[in-house]
Structures are given as structure tokens and as C-alpha cells.
């Protein structure tokens, strides 16, 4: 229990900027090469990193239908989500607006969790998720009227894929070692991308150093790193806990886009970040009084990433 008191908060603090960086790096990457090539190199690099980790940790292999469940999760959480998100970024959807739309996924995950995963929710997480959703809306509300047309559909579809993949990961893959889970998902995603790549007629290699830097960041930091953290937090806490953290991503993306992408900083971004922080505070059960005793996801002692997880 002592270990989880510092480990989970530390990983939570690290998770938000790593996840948010995917929108920034994705916007840069899609400015240098086509979406299929971005996906291809993301999965190649992430798979190489995770295979190296697997060689050291030697985690247990999936058993039986776990292989199929991991493949389904990969198609939803990896191929589906990022194909749509990168297509939107390449079509001109701002990184901040993409993160705002993807920020709606935590609300759907939190509301669907009791129906699909038989998890009891008290008032705190529901109210916290609603406050967080309000915060991410405030951050970039003006962009919703920016005349982007049908391009906005891409991040909406990505948000639905993220919601489905998060729930599926929690429901069917929670007992698979984290490193094994990420390796199989990246391998599945790479195979799916390679299967269609020859028919798309796009260049394979990033043409500039900036393109290489962006795809390396997506593969190592945002893909391998962020998803390992996500799966660990899903295992050690709950979908609501992870959803509350994801509420902070749109505001973090908006603030990061100021120095990196040159997007202007507005009072709305600061206000939205503050509201999202309150939503996370309430959603994680840190609100004083009776709600504070309704904390979701009081989980057992963390399990090492390479170890098999016992039944709940």
C-alpha cells in the first residue's frame, strides 16, 4: 500500500503531458507526411521499444481468447483512434480542438462503465466528469464555430474509438501483463497498417528531420510510454480515475500549443484548465465530506508490469 501512495500519483502526473503531446506531435507529423505513413512509423517504433522491454521483463504470453481480445483492442484503441485523429489533423482540425473532442471520451467512459463493467459509481465521479467536460468545452469553445465542416467528423470518430477501446481494454485485457498487452496491440496495428499500405500510394519515409522527430516521439513517448501508463492506471485504479485524468488533456494541449505550434493563449484556456482541475479533484473522490468516501477504484497493491495478474 505504501508503494501505491507515491507510484500512482507520480504516474498520473506523468501521464497527462505524455498523452497530450500526441496531439502536438501528430499535428507536426501530418504536416510532413501522409497519415498512413505516420501510423506506420508510430507502430514500428513503438513495437521495437516494447519488444526490447519484453526481452528484459519476459512477461507471460496471452492465453486462449486473450489474443483475440488484444487484437480487437488494437483495432479500436490504436488503429481506429489514431487513423481518425491524424486524418482530422491533416485536414486542418487544430490540435487543441482535436484534444477537446477526444476529451469527451472520459465522460462517455464514465457513464458507460456501470452498464458494461458492473462498477458502482457514487455521485462524486459522475459530477466530477461533468465538471471536467465543462472545463474542456470552455477551453476551446470558440473553435467549434470555426467553419471546419466535415473535418470535425474525424476526431469525433476517434473519440468513439477511444471510448470503446478503453472499455474493452478494462473488460477483457485487465489480466494480461501490461508489456505483453502493448506488444501484441502494436504488432496487430502494424500488421493491419502494412496490409493496406501498398494500396494507398503514399511515401514510406519522412522527407525531413522534423518528420522523423515527430514520428519518433509518437512511437516512443506517446505510443509506447503513454499507453503503458494508461494500462497500468486502468489496472491499479478504475476507468473513472483515468477518465478524470484525461479531462486535463485538452487544456494541457492548448497551453503546450502556444510555444510549440504558435497558437494564441486565451483567458478561456486558463479558465478551462482550472475547471478541469476541479473536475479531476471531485471525480477522484478528493472532495471533503461524504463524497470523499465514495472514491472509485480502491484497488489492491500494484502488480509489477511483467507479472501475471491474479483473478479479482
Dump pLDDT digits (tens) for 231-252: 888 878 777 778 778 778 888 8
Report pLDDT for 306: 33
pLDDT at 182 over 80: yes
Q: Which pairs count as long-range contacts for 298-305, CB under 8 Å and 24+ apart, including other chains?
A: 299/4, 299/235, 299/236, 299/237, 299/238, 301/1, 301/3, 301/4, 302/3, 302/4, 302/7, 302/8, 302/232, 302/235, 302/236, 303/235, 303/236, 305/57, 305/59, 305/177, 305/178, 305/179, 305/228, 305/232
CB 246 within 8 A of CB 103: yes
Question: Which grid coordinates are listed for 12?
Answer: 498520473
C-alpha cell, 148: 471546419
Whole-angstrom distance, CA of residue 185 vs CA of residue 296: 27
- All three cell numbers of 65, joined, read 481468447
Query: Does the pLDDT of residue 221 top 70, yes or no?
Result: yes
Examine residue 202 and state whether it is found in any structural domain, yes or no: yes
Query: CA–CA separation, 168 vs 162, rounded Å?
Result: 10
Residue 299 inside a domain? The answer is no
Domain that holds residue 45: 2-293
Q: Which residue has the cell 494541449?
A: 253
Cell of 251: 487544456
Is residue 236 in some structural domain?
A: yes
Hey, what's the cell of 42? 508510430
Q: With 90 as the cut, is the pLDDT of residue 158 above it?
A: yes
Residue 277 has pLDDT above 70, yes or no: yes
- Please indicate, yes or no, if residue 224 is contained in any of the structural domains: yes
Rounded Cα–Cα distance for residues 53 and 10 (Å): 21
Q: What is the pTM of this model?
A: 0.79
Residue 311 lies in a domain: no
Q: What is the DSSP string of 76-104?
A: IIIIIHHHHHHHHHHTT--HHHHHHHHTT
CA angle 11, 60, 240 (to 5 degrees): 35
Residue 205 domain-assigned (yes or no): yes
Q: Which three cell numbers stand for residue 292?
A: 470523499
Q: What is the DSSP letter of 225?
A: I
What does the DSSP 8-state code read for residue 176? S
Whole-angstrom Cα distance, residue 109 to residue 162? 9
300 domain-assigned? no
In a domain, 175, yes or no: yes
Is pLDDT at 193 greater than 90 in this prediction? Answer: yes
Q: What is the pLDDT of residues 88-147, one digit of tens each?
A: 999 988 888 888 788 778 777 777 777 776 666 667 767 877 887 787 778 756 665 555
Each residue's pLDDT tens digit, 27-73: 999 999 999 999 999 999 999 999 998 999 898 888 888 999 999 99
Share of the chain above pLDDT 90, in %: 31
Number of domains in the chain: 1
Amino acid at each position: 500500500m505504501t508503494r501505491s501512495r507515491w507510484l500512482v500519483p507520480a504516474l498520473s502526473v506523468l501521464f497527462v503531458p505524455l498523452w497530450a503531446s500526441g496531439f502536438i506531435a501528430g499535428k507536426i507529423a501530418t504536416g510532413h507526411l501522409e497519415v498512413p505513413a505516420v501510423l506506420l512509423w508510430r507502430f514500428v517504433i513503438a513495437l521495437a521499444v516494447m519488444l526490447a522491454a519484453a526481452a528484459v521483463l519476459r512477461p507471460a504470453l496471452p492465453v486462449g481468447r486473450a489474443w483475440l481480445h488484444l487484437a480487437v483492442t488494437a483495432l479500436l484503441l490504436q488503429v481506429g483512434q489514431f487513423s481518425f485523429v491524424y486524418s482530422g489533423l491533416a485536414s486542418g482540425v487544430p490540435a487543441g480542438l482535436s484534444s477537446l473532442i477526444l476529451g469527451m471520451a472520459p465522460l462517455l467512459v464514465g457513464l458507460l462503465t456501470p452498464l458494461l463493467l458492473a462498477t458502482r459509481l457514487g455521485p462524486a465521479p459522475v459530477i466530477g466528469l461533468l465538471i471536467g467536460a465543462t472545463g474542456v468545452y470552455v477551453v476551446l469553445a470558440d473553435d467549434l464555430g470555426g467553419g471546419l465542416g466535415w473535418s470535425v467528423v474525424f476526431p469525433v470518430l476517434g473519440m468513439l474509438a477511444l471510448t470503446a477501446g478503453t472499455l474493452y481494454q478494462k473488460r477483457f485485457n485487465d489480466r494480461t501483463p501490461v508489456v505483453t498487452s502493448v506488444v501484441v496491440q502494436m504488432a496487430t496495428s502494424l500488421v493491419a497498417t502494412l496490409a493496406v499500405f501498398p494500396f494507398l500510394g503514399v511515401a514510406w519515409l519522412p522527407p525531413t528531420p522534423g518528420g522523423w522527430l515527430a514520428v519518433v516521439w509518437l512511437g516512443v513517448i506517446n505510443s509506447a510510454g503513454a499507453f503503458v501508463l494508461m494500462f497500468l492506471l486502468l489496472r491499479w485504479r478504475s476507468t473513472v480515475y483515468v477518465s478524470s485524468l484525461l479531462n486535463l488533456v485538452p487544456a494541457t494541449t492548448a497551453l503546450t500549443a502556444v510555444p510549440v505550434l504558435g497558437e494564441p493563449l486565451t483567458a478561456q484556456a486558463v479558465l478551462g484548465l482550472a475547471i478541469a482541475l476541479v473536475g479531476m479533484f471531485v471525480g477522484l473522490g478528493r472532495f471533503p465530506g461524504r463524497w470523499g468516501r465514495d472514491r472509485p477504484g480502491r484497488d489492491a497493491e500494484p502488480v509489477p508490469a511483467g507479472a501475471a495478474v491474479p483473478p479479482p
